[in-house]
Each structure stands twice: as C-alpha cells, then as structure tokens.
Amino acid sequence: MGIEEIQSKTYYKIKLFDHHHKRFCNKFKGMICASVKKNPEKLADLPKQYDIVEVWGPSFVPLIRLLQKPVILKVADCDLVDENLNVDYIDYDISMDVSVRPKGAKLIISYHNPDHTPSLNELHGIVRDMLAMGADICKIVTKAVTVEDNLIPLRLLAESKTPMIAFCLGEKGRISRIMAPQFGSLISYVPPTADFVTAEGQIVFDEWMKIQKMLARG
C-alpha cells in the first residue's frame, strides 16, 4: 500500500470523526490524552497541548470537568455507569454489556490482548464485531512480542475506514505508539509525567512532544 493511499484512507477516517471534536482532528495528529487512575487533582496544571482526559471512575468526572476538556470514562464496572454522567466518550471492553451509555456520549469499544498481537485478519474480525455492537470508535491494543508486531496495528489503521485507536503495548510496542497518529489513530495516551503511567511502553509528555516535533520536520 503506497503512502498516498494511506493518507487518503487516514483523511477519510478523520473526516468521519471530525464532526464531534473538529479542532482536535488535524490530519496525522489525533488527540493527546491524559489517563487518570488516581489523584485527579494532580492534573490541575495539565499542559495546554492535551486535548482530552480519560478517567478510570465516574467519581473523577466532576473534578476533571473543571479542566474544560472532553472526558472519556473508562468502564471497569458496568454497575457504576449512569445515563446522566457528563462525559463525551465511554470506553467499554468488548467483553462487557454496552447497553448503558451516558446521553450524547460516543461509544468506544476496546479489545486488549496483554499476551501477543493476533494476525491482521483476526483483528479485522474483531473490528467487525465491535461495529456490530454499535461502536463509534474501535480501540485495539495488543502486546508486541517482537518489533515486527508493530506493523500489524499500523496496517490495520491503514486498511480500515473505521474511526480507530490502535497500537501495541510493551517496550517493543513504543514504535507503534509513536507512528499510530501518522496512520490515523485518533487518540494517543500520553502520561504527563511518570506518575501517570498506566501501561507498559507509554511515552511521557516531554519525550512525546520532542518525538512528534522531529517527525513533523520530516
């Protein structure tokens, strides 16, 4: 697949997503997300470059709303989900019941494989299952056992017309985290500092910005 075709597919996906948060969807950029598992008050000085915040519990939502940024609620317990929660996105694992959704929230359905990266065909099948469940955005996160595994989520992004987040976990998966926005991945999970790391292989904010600036210069 040539770079022109990849760019065309990427632009198409971002246009599908563009109506919801238009200013965040610059071509090859996506959104930079801070993920909060605990101590949300420490995000008071979140750098302005962050576009969105993911919270790991409904109780964090009111405080995070003070940052005046879109909010993703990552669901750990379906019983805690309320239709009246003030969030922009709700992220359910593919194994969960996704029937309850806060009013107006976009549905992210996630597949996580902490052991390995399945084949490209298998991942396309998982995406189809997510769409059948009503996903607005499909999220695919798999463990990179080898450096070559990074190519699979990048190819998935390039070949799909579905709004998507895809990358590999682990130290060997850092390449896919860095390159995923270039292939149309809509959200990059970038901890502000090491205290906010929620998964192996994440790249903290200062390092992330340096890398993306180098890529932008070509």
39: left (phi over 0), alpha (psi -120 to 50) or beta: left
Q: Give the pLDDT confidence score for residue 80 in this predicted structure.
A: 78
Q: What are 186-204's pLDDT values in tens digits?
A: 999 999 999 899 899 999 9
Q: What are 127-140's pLDDT values in tens digits?
A: 999 999 999 999 99
Task: Please provide residue 95's backbone torsions phi and psi, each rounded to the nearest 5 degrees.
Answer: -80, -5
- Judged against a pLDDT cut of 90, whether residue 24 lies above it is answered with no
- Judged against a pLDDT cut of 50, whether residue 4 lies above it is answered with no
Task: Find where tokens 């192996």 sit.
Answer: 200
Neighbouring CB atoms inside 10 A of 120's CB total: 14
- Domains of the chain are 3-212 (3.20.20.70)
Q: Which residue has the higher pLDDT, 10 or 172?
A: 172
Contact 92, 120 (CB under 8 A): no
Residue among 188, 201, 152 at smallest CA distance from 25: 188
Q: Which residue has the higher pLDDT, 4 or 31?
A: 31
Query: Considering only 18-22, 29-33, 136-140, which range has the smallest mean pLDDT?
Result: 18-22
The stretch 15-42 carries a mean pLDDT of: 64
Q: What integer best gives the mean pLDDT of the chain?
A: 86
3-state secondary structure 9-47: HHHHHHHHHHCCCHHHCCCCCCEEEEEECCCHHHHHHCC
Active-site residues, by number, are 112, 139
